[in-house]
């Protein structure tokens, strides 16, 4: 489900839940005619319940989502990287000293940079070589952010 559709569903359900809760928990006279108090109950209740529902509907924490690629991983990533093959960096990518997000960052590869695979692999992490600002760097990069250099952009 798209994030926008999820938000609409969560806040729509929150509005219904707020109306039901308000009918049971507030004096009936509050709802005889529109007033600021009734509006505040609806807005704050819908906001609080909708935010909670949206938080529970979100399958990954915000940091994990930030680490995910914006484009789906391609099938060739399941295979070992071909030594000497060139790949293009899809978006700014950290080149790390070892595989994993906890490893120290060596440098940041800009979007569009070309890297060459060494053939070493550790799960989704590939050891690559790149020229960054005229300096040859080697390290580990997440293969989820790499595309074949000959692959056409959308």
Is the model's pLDDT at 118 over the cut of 70?
yes
Mean pLDDT of 94-123: 92
Coil vs helix vs strand at 54: helix
81 with 43, same domain: the answer is no
Is the model's pLDDT at 78 over the cut of 50?
no
pLDDT for 29: 78
pLDDT for 141: 93
Is the model's pLDDT at 135 over the cut of 60?
yes
74 with 55, same domain: the answer is no
Number of compact structural domains in the chain: 2
pLDDT for 74: 46
3-state secondary structure labels for all residues of the chain: CCHHHHHHHHHHHHHHHHHHHHHHHCCHHHHCCCCHHHHHHHHHHHHHHHHHHHHHHCCCCHHHHHHCCCCCCCHHHHCCCCCCCEEEECCCEEEECCCCCCCCEEEEECCCCEEEEEEEEECCEEEEEEEECCEEEEEEEEHHHEEECCCCCC
Q: Which CATH number is 95's domain given?
A: 2.30.30.40
Domain contains 134: yes
Angle at Cα 90 formed by Cα 86 and Cα 94, nearest 5°?
A: 90
Q: State both tokens at 11.
A: 């806040």
pLDDT for 27: 81
Query: Could you tell me if 121 and 85 are in contact, meaning their C-beta atoms sit under 8 angstroms apart?
Result: no
Angle at Cα 59 formed by Cα 105 and Cα 100, nearest 5°?
A: 20
Domain contains 128: yes
Domain boundary among 59, 84, 101: 59
Domain contains 154: no
pLDDT for 22: 84
Is the model's pLDDT at 15 over the cut of 80?
yes
48 with 93, same domain: the answer is no
Is the model's pLDDT at 95 over the cut of 90?
yes
The closest alpha carbon to 141, from 126, 119, 120, belongs to 126
132 with 76, same domain: the answer is yes
Mean pLDDT of the chain: 82
78 with 48, same domain: the answer is no
Is the model's pLDDT at 149 over the cut of 90?
no
Each residue's pLDDT tens digit, 16-73: 998 898 888 888 777 778 788 888 888 998 999 988 888 888 665 555 555 555 554 4
Can you tell me the distance from the alpha carbon of 90 to that of 15, in angstroms, rounded to the nearest whole number? 40
36 with 83, same domain: the answer is no
CA distances (Å), origin 8, targets 15, 41, 62: 10, 19, 19
Domain contains 65: no
Mean pLDDT of 91-112: 92
Q: Tell me the pTM.
A: 0.48
Domain contains 64: no
87 with 43, same domain: the answer is no
35 with 79, same domain: the answer is no
pLDDT band of residue 145 (cuts 50, 70, 90) is confident
Domain contains 75: yes
- Our measurement of the distance from residue 36's CA atom to the centroid of its chain's CA atoms, rounded to an integer in Å, reads 38
Per the structure, the complete domain to which residue 36 belongs is given by 3-59
Domain boundary among 22, 38, 59: 59
């Amino acid at each position: 489900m798209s994030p926008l559709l999820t938000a609409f569903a969560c806040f729509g359900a929150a509005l219904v839940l707020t109306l039901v809760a308000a009918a049971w928990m507030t004096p009936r006279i509050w709802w005889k005619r529109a007033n600021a108090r009734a509006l505040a109950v609806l807005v704050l209740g819908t906001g609080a319940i909708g935010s909670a529902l949206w938080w529970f509907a979100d399958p990954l924490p915000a940091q994990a989502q930030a680490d995910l690629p914006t484009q789906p991983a391609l099938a060739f990533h399941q295979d070992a990287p071909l030594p000497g093959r060139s790949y293009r960096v899809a978006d700014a990518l950290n080149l790390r000293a070892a595989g994993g997000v906890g490893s120290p960052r060596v440098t940041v590869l800009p979007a569009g940079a070309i890297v060459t695979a060494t053939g070493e692999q550790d799960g989704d992490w590939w050891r690559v070589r790149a020229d960054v600002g005229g300096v040859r760097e080697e390290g580990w990069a997440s293969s989820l952010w790499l595309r074949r250099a000959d692959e056409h952009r959308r």
